[in-house]
Structure 1
Amino acid sequence: MQEDAAPKRQLRLVYDGECPMCRRYVRWHRIRTDVGELELIDARQHSEARRELTAIGIDLDQGFALQIGERWYHGSEALHRLTLLGTHSGMFNRLMYRLFANPERTARLYPLLRACRRGLLKVLGRKPIENLGREREP
């Protein structure tokens, strides 16, 4: 009986399920099969992952969170790491790789993505996630 050469890591992505831009991204993004299976978790639903992120002070209104093994990545760092785990098949994944494979470029672009998300949610009349319990600016 053979064992797998390397155990697959735990991968969890906590994203805003009410944001159309976020939903489309997680639907279109594909990770390599050798990396493991990515569990998608809606940040607006109560879950173990959301409680864990809240306990360690990660603000889900400031960006999604990616867990690889025991470590959590947030915002631009999460986007960069997720991009590196992705396939290069399909136009969407190739574009994401070109944009976000470089961590400095990702850090520069991420505030624009976050502002687009915030504006889109405002236009749609959606409230912030507020997992840290703070009031957000209007």
Structure 2
Amino acid sequence: MAMEIYYDGECPFCSHYVGLLRLRENVGPVELIDARSGDPRVAELRAQGLDFDEGMAVRHGDRLYHGAEAVRILSVLSQKGGVMLALMRSPRRAALFYPLMRAMRNLTLRVMGRRPIG
């Protein structure tokens, strides 16, 4: 089963972040799923109560990660990376910085005239 990464395809930060990841070398197939798409898996996760405006999601094996946990697991499993990936590898730092990243994302989308996913 491929790792599934659900992200906001209209968010420049989210798109750039998933573009920086080098996961295939470590985890095998990776599928990027735009949370704004009509993919039935997105609807299924929403029905389970997942809010994509609160953060991206990652399904890896039988686990589902959301928000800071999702960014942290991606950072841990990525090959080499820059400052952001190194910063987010720590659970404590990820929990601390993720709300700021989410706020910046929401502000940027508002300035760009893009609506929330939900």
1:58 partner SS? coil
Give the residue type in structure 2 aligned to 1:41.
I
Unaligned runs of 5+ in 2: none
Alpha-carbon offset, residue 32 of structure 1 = 4.7
Counterparts of 1:1-138 in structure 2, within 5 Å, are 9-88=1-80, 93-130=81-118
C-alpha contact 1:83 1:101 (8 A) present in aligned 2: yes
- Name the Cα RMSD after superposition: 1.2
Unaligned runs of 5+ in 1: 1-8, 131-138
1:5 matched to which residue of 2? Answer: none
* TM value normalised by structure 2: 0.94
Alpha-carbon offset, residue 29 of structure 1 = 1.5
Structure label with greater radius of gyration: 1
Runs (4 or more) in structure 1 with deviation over 4 Å come to none
1:98-133: per-residue Cα shift (whole Å, max 9, x none)?
201110110000000000000000000000000xxx
Report the Cα distance in structure 2 between the residues aligned to 1:114 and 1:97, rounded to whole angstroms.
16
Matched length = 118
Identity %: 45
* TM value normalised by structure 1: 0.81
